[in-house]
């Protein structure tokens, strides 16, 4: 026999968590290496598709322009509804839903679906930025930059509106979550979520302050990779890489800001949330310096795009 399932009652390949979580993979597969095969095949497939679309002239969607935004918002809504059903099934309270939605992790532990939801929210925002950047670079960079007068002025006017939009995106997400929490027919009181939280305001702080900083980190990473490589598909690959590296099995030291939950835990108190803010701010400063350097260096970017 080539391999065996440790638990014969579970059909391991159908449970995605068995590929995402190391301890689940260990429980499900013998030898554990089997768990990595589908993941590696999927990653190789993604790279092949990315290379193919790049050769075909890029990744521009042939869809109406607003479709990616609509699909993105629909996925966000789906994530909130999923979190609602998830908490409802556990008999938990509305507070648990808010906890999951704002904090990015279930109080009862890590779930890959919630991880995917938050990855969709955060990396999806960076992907929308990537689409906008692709459009600008492909269509009119020279005409806009010439009128702005300098590459750095172009950069500032291109990126700063995104800084303003990040909290604007988080705001309706928060509003939707509140509505679902209030109208969600919660009857359970099995709440274990808020224990240890210094003040409910800290949940909002985590969501809006750290969430915005995290979004901006992703945006700048996407920008730098696309700009330096001269290939917009590289930005997509960077986002995919972040998604994979942020998986708990790999993001052991919680060094990557992922899904709001990987940098620390709310139960550890306000100081932990402030620590996350400081770390994200340091990331952001470093990324801003790199962005300024690569855009200001005309030997780097434009040469690649000749």
Partner 1 sequence: MPVIELEKVTKSFKGVPIFDNASATFEAGKIHGIVGPNGSGKSILFKMICGFILPDTGKVIIDSQYQSPSRTFPEQFGVIIDRPGYLPQKTGLDNLRDLAKIRGAIGDAEIRDAMEKVGLPPGLKQKARNYSLGMKQKLALAQAIMEDQKVLILDEPFNALDADSVDLVRNLLKKHREQGRTVIFTSHNREDIDLLADHTLRISNSKLERIS
Contact residues for partner 1, defined by CB under 8 A: 64-65, 135, 138-151, 298-299, 302-303, 306
- Give 10 or 138: the residue with its C-beta nearer to partner 1: 138
Provide, rounded to whole angstroms, the least separation between the CB of residue 65 and partner 1: 4
Separation of alpha carbons 268 and 177, rounded Å: 24
Number of Cβ within 10 Å of residue 113's Cβ equals 14
C-alpha count within 13 angstroms, C-beta hemisphere, residue 31: 4
Secondary structure (DSSP) of 222-247: HHHHHHHHS-HHHHHHHHHHHHHHTS
216, 166 Cβ separation under 8 angstroms: yes
Separation of alpha carbons 173 and 40, rounded Å: 33
Strand positions, DSSP E, the chain: 4-5, 29-30
Is 263 in a helix, a strand, or coil? Answer: coil
- Give 51 or 147: the residue with its C-beta nearer to partner 1: 147
83, 178 Cβ separation under 8 angstroms: no
Provide, rounded to whole angstroms, the least separation between the CB of residue 63 and partner 1: 11
Provide, rounded to whole angstroms, the least separation between the CB of residue 70 and partner 1: 14
Please, which residues bridge with residue 109 across strands?
Answer: 106
Question: What are the tokens at 197?
Answer: 């939280």
- Give 141 or 256: the residue with its C-beta nearer to partner 1: 141
- Give 145 or 233: the residue with its C-beta nearer to partner 1: 145
Length of the chain: 306
Tell me the chain's radius of gyration from C-alpha atoms. 21
- Give 101 or 155: the residue with its C-beta nearer to partner 1: 155
Provide, rounded to whole angstroms, the least separation between the CB of residue 172 and partner 1: 23
Query: For residue 160, how far is the Cα from the chain centroid?
Result: 20
Provide, rounded to whole angstroms, the least separation between the CB of residue 234 and partner 1: 17
106 Cβ contact list (under 8 Å, min separation 6) = 86, 87, 96, 99, 100, 114
Provide, rounded to whole angstroms, the least separation between the CB of residue 152 and partner 1: 8
- Give 188 or 230: the residue with its C-beta nearer to partner 1: 230
Separation of alpha carbons 106 and 76, rounded Å: 17
* Continuous segment of H or E residues that includes residue 119: helix 112-139
- Give 180 or 295: the residue with its C-beta nearer to partner 1: 295
- Give 31 or 161: the residue with its C-beta nearer to partner 1: 161
Provide, rounded to whole angstroms, the least separation between the CB of residue 306 and partner 1: 5
Provide, rounded to whole angstroms, the least separation between the CB of residue 140 and partner 1: 5
Largest Cα–Cα separation, the chain:
68
């Amino acid at each position: 026999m080539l391999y065996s399932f440790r638990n014969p009652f579970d059909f391991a390949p159908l449970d995605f968590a068995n590929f995402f979580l190391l301890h689940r993979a260990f429980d499900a597969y013998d030898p554990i290496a089997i768990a990595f095969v589908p993941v590696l095949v999927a990653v190789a497939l993604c790279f092949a598709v990315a290379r193919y679309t790049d050769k075909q002239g890029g990744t521009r969607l042939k869809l109406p322009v607003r479709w990616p935004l609509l699909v993105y918002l629909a996925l966000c809504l789906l994530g909130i509804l999923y979190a609602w059903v998830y908490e409802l099934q556990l008999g938990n309270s509305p507070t648990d839903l808010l906890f999951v939605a704002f904090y990015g992790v279930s109080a009862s532990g890590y779930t890959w679906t919630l991880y995917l939801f938050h990855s969709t929210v955060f990396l999806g925002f960076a992907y929308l930025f990537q689409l906008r950047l692709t459009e600008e670079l492909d269509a009119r960079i020279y005409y806009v930059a010439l009128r702005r007068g300098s590459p750095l002025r172009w950069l500032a006017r291109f990126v700063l509106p995104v800084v303003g939009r990040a909290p604007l995106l988080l705001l309706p997400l928060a509003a939707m979550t509140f509505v679902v929490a209030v109208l969600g027919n919660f009857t359970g009181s099995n709440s274990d979520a808020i224990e240890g939280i210094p003040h409910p305001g800290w949940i909002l702080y985590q969501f809006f302050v750290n969430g915005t900083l995290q979004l901006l980190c992703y945006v700048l990473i996407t920008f730098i990779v696309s700009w330096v490589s001269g290939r917009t598909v590289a930005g997509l690959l960077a986002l995919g890489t972040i998604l994979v590296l942020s998986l708990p099995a790999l993001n052991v030291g919680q060094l990557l800001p992922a899904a709001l939950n990987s940098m620390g835990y709310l139960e550890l108190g306000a100081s932990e949330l402030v620590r996350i803010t400081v770390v994200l701010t340091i990331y952001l400063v470093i990324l801003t310096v790199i962005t300024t350097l690569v855009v200001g260096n005309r030997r780097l970017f434009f040469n690649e795009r000749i």
